[in-house]
Amino acid sequence: MTSVLVHFGTLHGKPFVTYMPQPGETTPDAFVVVVNQLGQHSLWRAALPVPGGWRRQSGVMPRSDCLAAIEGAWPDIAPASVTARPGDQAAGDGEAFVHELFARQAAARPDAVAVAAGRARVTYCELDESAGRLARHLRENGVGPEVVVGVHLERGIDLIRAVLAVMKAGGGYLPLDPALPAERLTMMCAQAGPAVVLTAAAASFPCPTARMLPFAGQADLASGPAAGPVGRPHPDNLCYVIHTSGSTGDPKAVAVSYGSLASEIAPLAADYQIGPDDRVAQMAAMAFDTSVEQIFVALTRGARLTLPPSGTLAPSDLLRGIQRRGVTVVDLTPAYWHQMLALTKPDDERLRSLRLMITGGEMADPADCAAALRAVPGARLLNAYGLTEATITSALFEVSGWRPPEPWTAVPAGRPAGPARITILDGHLNPVPPGGSGEVYIGGPGVARGYIGRLGLTAERFLPDPAGEPGSRMYRTGDLGRWLMDGTLEIAGRIDRQLKVRGYRVEPGEIETVLAGHPDIEEVSVVASSNHSGHTRLVAYYTPTRTAARTALHHPRAASLRRYLLDRLPSYMVPAAFIVRHPQQNPAARPRKETGDARRAERTRAMPAQQRRQGGRGKAEPLTPTEAGLSALWARLLTQDQVGLEDEFFALGGDSLLAAEMLAHTDALFGIPADSVRSLTRSLLRDPTLRAFAAAVEDARAGRLSTDGDQAEIDFDRETRLSLKVRERGAQAGSAHGDQAPSRAEPEWRNPGEVLLTGAAGFLGAHLLSELLAATGARVHCLVRARDENAVLSRLRHAADRYELPVPRGDRVVPLPGDLAEPRLGLSDARFRELARRLDTIYHAGAQVNFIYPYQELRAANVTGTRELIRLAAMYRAIPLHYVSSTAVLAGLGVAGVREVTEETPLAYPELLHMGYVETKYVAEELLRAAGRAGLPMAIYRPLDIVGSLRTGAWSTSTEMAAMIRFIADTGLAPDIDLPLDFVPADACAAAMRHISVTAGAAGRTYHLASPEMAPIGTLVGRMRDKGYQIADIPVDDWVRELARQAARDPSHPMAAFLPLFVGRVAGGLTVAEMYLSHVFPVYGRSNTEHALLGSGIAFPPVSGELLDRNVERLMQTGYLPAPQAGQLQAHVG
């Protein structure tokens, strides 16, 4: 009777059983060692004929003896083709490698953008030349064929540059993710043996084999020839090393050659139909081999590669990024697709740029595939299958036209891609007929070298390929599969314990080995579970030592075990739940699959603490606003009724993607600085209780949370320095600027003919445009961020319609597509100089307005843009520059104890402002004053809260005050605070600026555009009550807690964006919002404004019932405010 391996499992809810003959049980343990012409060794069953190109190296021996012989006889997995003669092969031999195909694109399309990361861009020519310089630098440091180079850089342009440079130098790159624990990085280096490690900072991990080579990006490549080293690698030379999980506790270092990568990328790029018009998202981590495919299918075909920030990107952020960047190709794991598709709708406008969607890394869900095709009708959807050992993708399935015959039918893996050859063999290595199950083997030129330093394992997994070229090998995948009747491949499971978690291969044995090293752990087993979305997560069952069980509250805490693993393993290998088995239970052998009882036990242990308790604990301790907001956010994301301070995120069903989504919402709700996100992520992993995470959020907001490479505090002295030479008025553009084009004479600022207006599509800017068109004869050049002139005009018409202004028409409106954040304002050099020659006045009302982003995120648009406008104004003719700032720049003075200021009071205490937007306004003002001292005519205008016009009351609902009124109306709750309201109508502001600019000119003065009589917020609330709103005044702390809860429940509420202003103590123990209360913010005068407007007929009204009524009624008429008592949000206070 033949013994069989019986494999039980479920596939999309349907049970299946696979039987595979096990010849090792019925035939002698008889093997031989075989060797091919490249000196590659393999283990081969003695009873089978030796395939062509292979010869026996030993007699018949047991498996263990053969493996011992291989370990002793095979010095290195590098083939003889590169060890026998390590010199360069003659140029032109063989097919082009990926870095050579990239260089061809750089020659053909030098000015096309190759890589975009945030606001950073690099062209094909720039990237090729800088990579060539770095390659020469690497060669000078000993890098060449068969030399491994560690790349310890964050995802970004420098990382892509480094990878290309290593290839141009002929070496092999080893990705070393800075997010990995130091112990893991050291282990990876010990296996791969890099000679050099490129790193952006002092590496925090020891690597005895390597010399650390600091690399600061483009700054390190300013000199030297652009051409890379002469010569090219051999196709069999090492190209890169990727680590996968290992069952014995150590990761496996897979070595892939230049030829293998080249053989796969070109056919895949053709299958994907990648072209120069594509924008390909590079979503995979560099430690994951899908990243190699994503990078080079783009760069070898002239497409643009778009890079997200480092770390796991929240699905909601990706949706916004796809729309903003116009991404056309995206490749995600099924788990990521599931989370992102849950946020989409049919024909989702955010995904309309996509033409190709790829999923792979684990089993695809048919329901998610259908949802993807509904969200992006007309796009292609491909299911990709492959393994690192066979160079990424070996099979593709076109899902777009597929209809599953049954709901549980698996999405097929498809047909072989490119040169890959897939066979399904039984235990005797015989082909299995269609419909029968067997193990999947992959052959072809994409088969990797093997595992560095693991000779025996390489010989076991990389076997002679009887159907391939003589001497070729095939990789034994360990996947169970079958050929369907239409010739497509279906993957049905594994023959071992290997799991797929978010696309990563995970060997539970590796986690068990590491966790067993914990001093308080006696036994451990790691199994797969499913979270509420149906995707795999890891659960660790452990038995503590008897000593630990007696002394450590009966068992080690999960947080302790999680921290222990995070110091040794990647985060995706850390179990979501840790379940204790006490020693007296004497558990049986480790479970291979969870039973129903085990799953129920896990759910019981993972249940929120307050749901497990029988009876109350008395009055619950009050939550801080941060804790209240996070509790509501976690409850919404994790589908819990409530979440307590001691509840753990992962024990409640959270996984890494939900964590990314939660962190994205946390960043938005609480205004977390970008450089703190990684540390906040690590805090969640180390202690995932709500209490600990809320404390970490508070630390991040206050700048106390340690970060990787802490961002330096803003150097306001450096930021406000300006080196400027102002050309004399009336001087001609001359040789100093390299052109002889004539300029207009002295600017006619009293009767301007040519005006530049920034921010014309904004609230105040639209009113300024209307005022200038009505009250002057000037042509107004409108700088608007848009793709072309038609888009500029469209945005101007939309703004006029929104604020009930006359639609700007005729040739007096000059559309100027540009960007404040770009050099020369995003204009061509010729257009920039032409404006400098012709303009009479500049009105700078544009800015990136965001009360959450830190200074560095807003600096490009709000500070650098102002510098560029100063440069333009000073270039030829000293053009008057009128700048719109904000009275909020006075907040630092108030915190410092200054109680009264005038328009001439020097600004001070910027370090007390604690809001990035206001900090940029402070710096811009100081730059303008420096320009004024250098001779540039300038004036500064400071409004606080700009409200609806005197004529119509049309108001911008994106303001904080509009959002606050909406929140009060929605909840029926108002904060009991001494907040003064300085409301100034938009049309009055615009008229005042226009009048001052043509009468008083730009004489270096500051003007407070302020109301002569302010009102407390209580007056506004009273007027709302008069209109039927039932509103209760409550203590401000209670009001902020309710704001935090509601913002977490409904992040789309207008007030949610302003929550960071009300939480977290910053300057002098105040929140940002408290800095603007009457007893803190200084009283400010308006004498300059009053004097300049005297006799003009332009006046700012008092903040009276009439003004308040007009604006509130307008918000009601437009539907922004709910009708009184209609659908108020449920609030709980206390």
Domain boundaries, the chain: 100-217, 507-585, 625-702, 715-944+987-996
If pLDDT is split at 50, 70 and 90, which confidence band does 1021 have? Answer: very high
Query: Comparing 65 with 312, which gets the higher pLDDT?
Result: 65
Statement: residue 731 has pLDDT above 60? no
Nearest to 422 by CA among 474, 346, 353: 474
- Contact between 482 and 391 under an 8 Å Cβ cutoff? The reply is no
- Contact between 521 and 257 under an 8 Å Cβ cutoff? The reply is no
d(CA 474, CA 493) in angstroms, rounded, equals 20
CA distances from 955 to 607, 792, 1099, 1112, 1122 (A): 47, 22, 19, 10, 16
Q: What is the pLDDT of residue 208?
A: 80
Least confident span in 907-911, 1037-1041, 1066-1070: 1066-1070
Average pLDDT rounded to a whole number, residues 677-688: 79
Sheet of 54-56: strand order equals 41-45, 31-36, 54-56
d(CA 426, CA 438) in angstroms, rounded, equals 5
Statement: residue 315 has pLDDT above 90? no
Q: What is the pLDDT of residue 590?
A: 42
Statement: residue 558 has pLDDT above 70? yes
Q: What is the pLDDT of residue 286?
A: 87
Q: What is the pLDDT of residue 1064?
A: 66
Q: What is the pLDDT of residue 1067?
A: 65
H-only helix segments in 77-181: 80-83, 98-108, 124-140, 157-168
Statement: residue 204 has pLDDT above 70? no
∠301-303-306 over CA atoms, to 5°?
A: 135
3-state helix/strand/coil string of 46-88: CCCCCCCCEEECCCCECHHHHHHHHHHHCCCCCCHHHHCCCCC
406 φ, ψ (degrees, to nearest 5): -135, 155
Percent of all residues in the chain with a pLDDT value above 90, rounded to a whole number? 54
Statement: residue 595 has pLDDT above 50? no
Q: Which residues pair with 500 in a beta bridge?
A: 505
- In the predicted model, what is the mean pLDDT of the chain? 85
Statement: residue 1118 has pLDDT above 60? yes
Let me know if 1039 is exposed, middle or buried by CB neighbors in 10 A (0-12, 13-18, 19+). buried
Query: What are 44-72's pLDDT values in tens digits?
Result: 999 999 999 999 999 999 999 999 999 99
Q: What is the pLDDT of residue 3?
A: 39
Query: Comparing 1054 with 248, which gets the higher pLDDT?
Result: 1054
Nearest to 643 by CA among 676, 606, 610, 688: 610
If pLDDT is split at 50, 70 and 90, which confidence band does 608 have? Answer: very low
Least confident span in 695-709, 787-801, 937-951, 1008-1022: 695-709
If pLDDT is split at 50, 70 and 90, which confidence band does 1053 have? Answer: confident
Statement: residue 615 has pLDDT above 60? no
Statement: residue 542 has pLDDT above 60? yes
Q: Which CATH class is domain 715-944+987-996?
A: alpha beta
As a 3-state breakdown, the chain gives helix, strand, coil percent values, each rounded to 5, of 35, 20, 45
CATH (one of 1.10.1200.10, 2.60.120.10, 1.20.1560.10, 1.10.10.60) for 625-702:
1.10.1200.10
Sheet of 536-544: strand order equals 521-530, 536-544, 577-580
Contacts of 971 (CB under 8 A, 6+ apart): 1042, 1046, 1128, 1129, 1131
Average pLDDT rounded to a whole number, residues 300-322: 88
Query: Comparing 712 with 204, which gets the higher pLDDT?
Result: 204
H-only helix segments in 403-532: 455-461, 508-515
Classify the C-alpha dihedral 614-618-623-629 as positive or negative.
positive
d(CA 556, CA 520) in angstroms, rounded, equals 7
Average pLDDT rounded to a whole number, residues 684-712: 74
d(CA 873, CA 843) in angstroms, rounded, equals 11
If pLDDT is split at 50, 70 and 90, which confidence band does 687 have? Answer: confident
d(CA 62, CA 33) in angstroms, rounded, equals 10
d(CA 89, CA 237) in angstroms, rounded, equals 10
The CATH architecture annotation of domain 507-585 reads 2-Layer Sandwich (3.30)
Statement: residue 424 has pLDDT above 50? yes
If pLDDT is split at 50, 70 and 90, which confidence band does 14 have? Answer: very low
If pLDDT is split at 50, 70 and 90, which confidence band does 29 have? Answer: confident
Statement: residue 974 has pLDDT above 90? yes
Statement: residue 22 has pLDDT above 70? no
Query: Comparing 993 with 308, which gets the higher pLDDT?
Result: 993
Nearest to 739 by CA among 877, 876, 869, 838: 876
The CATH architecture annotation of domain 100-217 reads 3-Layer(aba) Sandwich (3.40)
Strand runs labelled E in 822-925: 841-844, 881-884, 900-901
d(CA 863, CA 877) in angstroms, rounded, equals 22
If pLDDT is split at 50, 70 and 90, which confidence band does 607 have? Answer: very low
Let me know if the fold of 507-585 is the same as that of 625-702: no
Q: What is the pLDDT of residue 26?
A: 41
Average pLDDT rounded to a whole number, residues 965-991: 94
Statement: residue 96 has pLDDT above 90? yes
d(CA 196, CA 176) in angstroms, rounded, equals 12
d(CA 745, CA 739) in angstroms, rounded, equals 17
Least confident span in 82-96, 617-631, 771-785: 82-96
If pLDDT is split at 50, 70 and 90, which confidence band does 1069 have? Answer: confident
Most trustworthy range by pLDDT among 551-560, 740-749, 1041-1050? 1041-1050
Percent of all residues in the chain with a pLDDT value above 70, rounded to a whole number? 85
Query: Comparing 394 with 857, which gets the higher pLDDT?
Result: 394
- Contact between 758 and 869 under an 8 Å Cβ cutoff? The reply is yes
If pLDDT is split at 50, 70 and 90, which confidence band does 1128 have? Answer: low
Q: What is the pLDDT of residue 223?
A: 58
Statement: residue 79 has pLDDT above 60? yes
Most trustworthy range by pLDDT among 611-615, 994-998, 1116-1120? 994-998
Statement: residue 11 has pLDDT above 50? no
Contacts of 581 (CB under 8 A, 6+ apart): 523, 541, 542, 543, 587
- Contact between 528 and 576 under an 8 Å Cβ cutoff? The reply is no
Query: Comparing 33 with 728, which gets the higher pLDDT?
Result: 33
Statement: residue 23 has pLDDT above 90? no
Query: Comparing 988 with 85, which gets the higher pLDDT?
Result: 988
Query: Chain-centre distance of CA 384, in angstroms?
Result: 23
Average pLDDT rounded to a whole number, residues 352-358: 95
Query: What are 186-202's pLDDT values in tens digits?
Result: 889 999 999 999 988 66
d(CA 580, CA 602) in angstroms, rounded, equals 10
Query: What are 705-715's pLDDT values in tens digits?
Result: 754 433 446 88
CA distances from 211 to 33, 142, 192, 208, 657 (A): 38, 10, 14, 8, 36
If pLDDT is split at 50, 70 and 90, which confidence band does 7 have? Answer: very low
